[in-house]
Amino acid sequence: MVVTDRPAFYALAPGGWRDLLTILHPPYTLWHLSYVALGAAAAPQVHADRLFAALAAFFLAVGVSAHALDELSGRPLGTRLSNPTLIALAAVGLAGALAIGVAGVIAVSATLVPFVIVGAFAVLAYNLELFGGRFHTDLWFAATWGAFPALTGWWSNALAVGSVGDGLAAAAAVLSCFALTVAQRRLSTPVRELRRATESVHGQQRLADGSVRKLSAAALAAPLDGALRALAVAVPLLAAGLVAVRI
């Protein structure tokens, strides 16, 4: 029996509509959608229609499809959704994202084709642990859930590298989102272990002034969850502010 009461700080009590909300991982989904906006904000011009289309595509691909596949594998969030329901959510989400991508290729630019292909591959390769889990790594996670959304947001608005400054702005946005995702992973991995795979924690922390603090899973998880909560608010606010200035 785990010592924390929920598998994630945003997880609701299992059952009914709450399961549908929980598997969306709302704070993390909003966080990763913010990378699309941050990439777009780095483009020479922000096209609102392209940005909203990209946000919708990533919501369907990551927020719905990838998270449904993740829950299908081992039920990490403990929902009661049936396997057919999760498979349907994953299929509909990915199909919707692909449909938006194809529309973008037709209406905006054929250069978006690689982004559509890579996005679909990333969802399936990571969450289904294809190729022996070769793509289910922290590096791949940071590249596909951090850098790739930012790059897609930037390219779908810029469609070309107009100058050295444009390239530097794009690189800064992409690399910063990659780094933020690495930070997210460094925080979320140990807190997931504490919440989902820890039976008990024993020990104490003795401070230099002689005081002693008892260690527990809840106490160890609190600062990690606190940092994740703060970042899940800060990154979307930053993205919204930058886009508001650019539009």
pLDDT confidence of residue 1: 38
pLDDT confidence of residue 4: 62
Q: Mean of the pLDDT values across residues 164-181?
A: 95
The string of pLDDT tens digits covering residues 218-246 is 999 999 999 999 999 999 999 999 999 98
Q: What is the rounded distance in angstroms from the CA atom of residue 214 to the CA atom of residue 78? A: 29
203 backbone dihedrals φ, ψ, rounded to 5°: 140, -175
Domains of the chain plus CATH, in order, are 17-179+230-246 (1.10.357)
Q: Which amino acid type is present at position 108?
A: V
Q: Could you tell me which of 139, 113, 135, 105 has the C-alpha nearest to residue 122?
A: 135
Helices and strands (H, E) in the chain, number of each type:
11, 2
Percent of the chain with pLDDT over 70: 98
pLDDT of residue 3 exceeding 80: no
CA 15 to chain centre: 24
CA-based radius of gyration for the chain: 20
| Out of 61-70, 83-92, 180-189, 192-201, least confident range | 192-201
pLDDT confidence of residue 195: 92
The string of pLDDT tens digits covering residues 117-163 is 999 999 999 988 888 888 889 999 999 999 999 999 999 999 998 88
pLDDT of residue 2 exceeding 50: no
Q: What is the rounded distance in angstroms from the CA atom of residue 20 to the CA atom of residue 12? A: 10
pLDDT confidence of residue 130: 86
pLDDT confidence of residue 231: 97
